[in-house]
Structure 1
Amino acid sequence: MNVFWLGFGKMGEPMALRVAGAGHALKVFDLSDERRAAARAHNLEVIESLGDAVAKADAIVSSLPNDAAVSQLLADEVGALLNAKPGTLLIETSTISAAASAVLAKAAAVRQLGYLRAPISGSVAAAANGTLTTFISGPEDVIERASPIVSAYASTICVVGDAEQARVMKLAVNLMVTTLVASLGEAYALCTKGGIEPKVALDAISTSAIGSPHLKFKANALERRDFTPTFTTVQMRKDLKLISDGARELGVPVLLGAAVEQIMSATEASGFGEEDYVACAKVIAGLSGLQM
C-alpha cells in the first residue's frame, strides 16, 4: 500500500520502519526538523506539505503526542484528512481521549474514510521488534483492510469494539501500569526501611506472584538507578488526566488513579518530569527519609 505516515517520534519511528520493511511505500511527515532528518537518515521519503502525498495515499497512519496534535494535523481545516480521497484508511495509533477520537471519527465519515482506532501498548524496543500490543476498534471491513499494516508492528492485536472502545481500553491499561509502578516505589521504600537490601527486595518482588514482565522491567531499571525515559513522567501525567477525565464522563471512580496522579505531579514538580515515570520511586523514598 501507499502509506502516508504522520509523526516520526519515539514510537512512530520504529513502527514506520517496520511498515516500510514489510514492503509498503512510505511517505513521512513531521513538524520537527530533527525528526524529518531522522526519517531521511533511514532513506525514507519526507514530504514538506500534506496535499498531494495524502491524496495519493491508500492509508494514513498517525502517531502523535496528544489530542491537540491529532486535531491540528488530522481533523482541522488544514489537516491531512482534507486531502484524503474517499476509501482511504485512517489508522490512528496515538493515546488520545475518546472525545477527541469521536470528533476525528466524524471528520473521517465526512470524507468517507475507513477509521481504525488503534492505540498501541509497549516499549520502543517492542516497536522495533514488531511485538507491540494494539487495541483496535472500528468496522469489521476496516479492521480487515488495515491488518497488513497493523501486523507489521504489532504481534498482539486485540479487537475490542466497533467505535471508541480502543481508546477506553488503552487508558484502562495505562491506569493499571502507572498504579503498578507507583506501588513498586512504595514497596521499595517499605523494604529498604525494613532492612532489606535494595537488590534483594527488587529481585524478590520480580520473582513473586506480582512479577509481570512490565514490573520486572521497571524493577530492573530501579535497581540500576536508570531513569532514562521509555515513557516520561510528563507523558504519564498527560495520560492520567485523560484517564480521570474519561472516567468522570463515564461515571466511574478511579480512586487509585487519583492518588497516582498526585504522586506523578509531585514527581514532575521535583524536577523529574523528563525522566522515566519510575522516578516516582525517588519522591516516595524522599518522603520516607531515604536517599536515592
Structure 2
Amino acid sequence: MDTITHTLFGLTLYGAADKRDLQQHEKRALFVTTLVGSQIPDSDVISRLWDTEGMYQMWHRGITHSIFLVPLFALLIYILVRLLFRVTDIRYFWWALLSVFIHNTSDLFNAWGTGYFEPISDVRITFGVIPIVDFVYWGIFLVAWLVARKQEVRYKTYRYAWAALVLYVAIQSAQGACLYQAYADEHDEVALSSSFIPTQFTVITKTEENVSLFQDSIYQEATLQYELTSAEKTSLEPLFEVNQEARTLTKWSPFVVIVANEERLGVFDPRFYDGESSFLYEYIER
C-alpha cells in the first residue's frame, strides 16, 4: 500500500484501542507505537542509496516485509517507547506487533507483492486483488473518523471500521480467486491486477509467447484489452550484462514480456502495461 494508507492504518489502530484508563504519556506511547509500526517496514527505501547492482526492486518490500521480522520490529518499537515514555506494559509490544503485521500482510494483496517469507524464500508473493492506492480503504477510515467524532466511546467505531475493511478484502480476494482459477485452467501463467473500481480486475495471462490482458469481473463478460507477443527464444544475456535492473525485474515479476526488435532489447512487467509501455520496463538501445 501507499504511505498515506499505511499511516491511516496506524492512526485507525490507535483509534481502535480502548484508552480510557491510560494516562497522557501512555496515550502518546501508544500513538508512537502504532504509527511507527505502520511505517517501519518501508525503511528499506534507504537501500536505494547503496544499490550499485540494480537490486533495489528486490530489496524494497523484501526482508523488511518478511513475516519473520515482525516480532523483531515490534521489539525495537517496544524498547523505543519504553525509553521515550517510561512505559513498561507488555501490551505496547503486542500493539507494535499488530501494527507491523498489518503493514506486511496488507502489502501482499496488491500487485507489487512482498518477500513475505524471506530469507527462506525470495519469491515475491502477490495476490493483486487490492490496488496499491485504494480509495475504499480511505472511505472506510473517513466514515469512521466522522462517526467517531460524535461518540463518547470512540474506539468501538474504529473497530467496526477494521471489521468493514477485513470484509472488503475478503470479498475482493474471493472474486480474485474465482477469476484466477478460471484462467489458470487454460493458460500457463496468470496474474491479477485490481482496478481502482471494486470488483474490476485486469487478468494477465501467458501461454508460450502469447500474453493477453483482459478486463474482467465475476459480474460481467471478459473484455480483451491487449494482445502482446513475447520473444521467448531471445537470449537476454546481452541485456543483463548492461542493465542489471533487467535481471532483477525478471526475477521479481511473476512473468515478463520480452521485447526484441531493431531498436530495443528489453523486458517489462505486463501487469502495468497501459497500451504503449509499462511502468516497469528495462531495456537497452540497439
TM-score, normalised by the number of residues in structure 2 = 0.33
Query: Computing the radius of gyration over CA atoms, which structure comes out larger, 1 or 2?
Result: 2
Normalization by structure 1: what TM-score?
Answer: 0.32
Per residue, is there more helix in 1 or in 2?
1
